[in-house]
Amino acid sequence: MSRPQAHLVTAVRRAAVVAPSLTRGLWVTVLLAVLGTTGQVVVPVAIQQLLDVEVLAGTGDVQRIATIGGLALLAVVASVLATRAAMFRLLRAAAEGLAELRVATFAHVHRLSTLHLQSERRGSLVARVTSDIEVITQFVEWGGIGMLVGSAQLALVLVVMTVYDPLLAGLIALAGLLYALLLLAFQRVLRRLYDQVRERSAAALSALSEAISGLKTIRAYGAEARTLPRVDQALEGHRRAEIRAQLVGASMFSSAELFAGSLTAMVIAVGVLLQPGQLTAGRLIALLFLVTLFIEPIQLLVEVLNEAQTAAAGIRRVLGVLDAPVEVVDPVPGRQLPPGPLAVSLHDVWFAYPRDAASSTRGDPVLREVDLELPPGTRVAVVGETGSGKSTFVKLLTRLFDPTRGTIELSGVPLDQVAFASLRSRVISVPQEGFLFDASVADNIRYGAPGASDDEVAQACRELELDAWIAELPAGIHTQVGERGARLSAGERQLVALVRAWIARPDLLVLDEATSAVDPALEVRLRRAIERLTTGRTAITVAHRLSTAEAADEVLVFARGRVVERGRHADLVARGGVYSRLHADWAAGASGGRAGGDSRPVEDGRD
């Protein structure tokens, strides 16, 4: 019985360190709650007083009856005020504390490189700051108040019972304890049933969401006949599990009535048979009323204890995020990067991704002993097949995560010693999926340079020769892009991301297939603009189309995590290695391969 509670207490105590509002003034709240529950026992006490003192004694003193009534009313009003204050204080503490916890967790998540390492975990991280916090909020709102008021009521009722008759009070307490144990056992069964409900409910939802999100595919392939039975089956499974669990729940709930009935019968029987010394008729009747006040909190407390496990699990998950060590740390004191274009050097760099979300062990290395010196102002193209490690390579350069082995230096400063403020303003990368926020084009561009005026934004667009494109947008740079930029095409989103990077005026620009979705004709123009603009800056481009590589000062060819070739385009083609093969394939796709679809493409490149 104490275990889930203990978990909850430890979890809350730890959460309170992060979010002090959670427990601030808790003792005052508890005191008020105890005061508040007196309202509940006023009625039985008043009955006892009225019956024993006035009615049965036969005095019939109207004055005294009115006095008892008046005092009782006063007690009720006081208890209403105290209850109200206690409940509100608790709710406010929860709202404030959980807001603090939410923000702290959110801020911490952004410091975790996990976000970039395991994008599939993003959904669960969102859950940490939304649904997990909601679970805790709901628990505090319902369970916290229940626990507070319930235990206060239980204690008070027992005290009053003991005053009336210690023997009966002891018997009732004993019965209550047995009943609580019975309920706990019952709850375990119920919990299993509800686990099943949750499982089936999740299955039903995933079947539903598959049918809805996959609607176009289902329609295109006439797969309705396959899908509907699956949906129906999942829904039916959930329906059955839910009904079964609720029936058991109803039986458990109804046991309270059986218990109340038996307890009432027992109190009357013991009372009239044993007639303990001080027991009057009024006191016995008051005890009957107290019994009804005794059962509800037991039931409530057992339910709360049960739910406490869920809430404690929620808090633990949130704390788990807060406990996750920040791997990529802003160094203190950080060093500034020297002004001007940046040189890049890698020495024996290895990298492996974590095997899975739970463990800290790493999988097979995706980068192996990479050694590179790139002088300042070089324009580098990075090529390689999918999975060759080229994307990981550029992510390491912007320190989205640190290498598992080896060192990276920018103009002689080790990357992990560079202050974030300096690094993030001088080294800018543009990923393949340029993420846009639900705001205007201008605001999204400004994200790269907060405070930039509309003119500066327009200027940046002009420099990239994108003014014609901007002019075609419905509201120019003030066009709203919609959620995740949904109102723009994938190519247009990339354009915005590119301007956003450019307006930050980086000294090392990293483009990771940043224009892969852009219209071919536009891409050519864009690439020339980028080349013109990055003159005198270092630029590293993961090339989607090998025409980029043709123009680079240097081409790095990645294969299986290593740099297997490097040099100028023409030299590499002439060498007849990996690059020449890649290039031949690409060339066949980009401009040749007509002459009869059946012939093999020219394997040894074109020149």
Partner 1 sequence: MALSTDPVLTATTSPWQVVRLGTRLVVRLVRGAPWRFVLAVLGALLFTGAIVASAWVVGAATDDLIIPVLGAGQSVAGRLVPVVSLLLGVALWKAAGIVLRRGSATALQVTAQTDLRRELVRRLFGTSLRAYERHGVGDLLSTADVDTRQATFVLAPLPFAVGVMGLLVAAITVITATDPLLGTAALGLLLVVVAIDLRGAWLTFEGMEEAQRRRGRVAGVAHESFDGALTVTSLGREAQERDRFQAAAEHLRDQLIGVGRIWTGYRAVTEGLPSAGTIVILVLGSLRVVDGAISPGELVRVAYLLSLLVVPVRMIGYLFWDTSQSVAAWRRVARVLEEQDPVTHGRVLPAGSVAPAGITASEVTFSYDRDVPVLSDLELSITPGSTVAVVGPTGSGKSSLAVLLARLWDPDTGALHLDGRDLRSLAPGVLSTEVAYVAQDTFLFDDSVLGNVALGAPVDEAAVRDALRLANAEVFVEALPGGLDTPLGERGATLSGGQRQRLALARALVRRPRLLVLDDATSAVDPSVEARILRGLKRATRPSTVVVVAARRATILLADRIVFLEDGRVRAAGTHEELLASVEGYARLLEAYEQDAADRAEQQRRHRDQAQQRPHRDRPEGRRYPDDGSGAQGDRAETP
Among 591, 602, 603, 604, binds partner 1 (CB under 8 A): 591
> How is 449-463 classified by DSSP, letter by letter?
STT--HHHHHHHHHH
Taking CB under 8 A as the binding criterion, the range among 94-102, 304-312, 314-322, 353-361 that sits at the site for partner 1 is 94-102
Query: Considering beta carbons, is residue 129 or 312 the nearer one to partner 1?
Result: 129
Q: Minimum distance between the CB of residue 259 and partner 1, rounded to whole angstroms?
A: 8
Alpha-carbon distance 304 to 504, whole Å?
53
Interaction of residue 471 with partner 1, rule CB under 8 A? no
Write the CA distances from 411 to 115, 191, 398, 448, integer angstroms: 28, 60, 14, 23
Interaction of residue 521 with partner 1, rule CB under 8 A? yes
Sign of CA dihedral 559, 561, 565, 566: positive
Residues 107-136 that bind partner 1 (CB under 8 A): 107, 109-111, 115-116, 120, 122, 125-126, 129-130, 134
Q: Minimum distance between the CB of residue 81 and partner 1, rounded to whole angstroms?
A: 8
Residues 1-20 that bind partner 1 (CB under 8 A): none
Taking CB under 8 A as the binding criterion, the range among 102-110, 152-160, 161-169, 181-189 that sits at the site for partner 1 is 102-110
Interaction of residue 504 with partner 1, rule CB under 8 A? yes
Write the CA distances from 102 to 38, 109, 118, 134, 316, integer angstroms: 36, 11, 21, 10, 13
Among 2, 27, 63, 225, binds partner 1 (CB under 8 A): 225
Sign of CA dihedral 7, 13, 19, 23: positive
Give 3-state DSSP helix, strand, coil % of the chain, rounded to 5. 65, 10, 25
**What character string, x for contact with partner 1 (CB under 8 A) and - otherwise, covers 266-295?**
--xx-xxx-x---xxx--xx--xx--x---
Residue 532: count other Cβ atoms within 10 Å of its Cβ: 11
Pick the closest to residue 172 from 47, 254, 258, 259 (CA basis): 259
Q: Minimum distance between the CB of residue 544 and partner 1, rounded to whole angstroms?
A: 9
Residues 301-360 that bind partner 1 (CB under 8 A): none
Q: Minimum distance between the CB of residue 342 and partner 1, rounded to whole angstroms?
A: 14
- What stretch of H or E contains 447? none
Residue 247, CB-side half-sphere exposure with 13 Å CA sphere = 6
Write the CA distances from 458 to 415, 493, 509, 605, integer angstroms: 33, 16, 20, 42
Residues 138-197 that bind partner 1 (CB under 8 A): none
- What stretch of H or E contains 334? none
- Which residues, at least 6 apart from 519, have a Cβ–Cβ distance to it below 8 Å? 491
Amino acid identity of 100?
E
Interaction of residue 204 with partner 1, rule CB under 8 A? yes
Query: Considering beta carbons, is residue 4 or 153 the nearer one to partner 1?
Result: 153
Query: Considering beta carbons, is residue 124 or 309 the nearer one to partner 1?
Result: 124
Residues 229-268 that bind partner 1 (CB under 8 A): 231-232, 235-236, 238-239, 242-243, 246-247, 249-251, 253-255, 257-258, 260-262, 264-265, 268
Residues 39-58 that bind partner 1 (CB under 8 A): 39-40, 42-43, 46-47, 50-51, 54-56
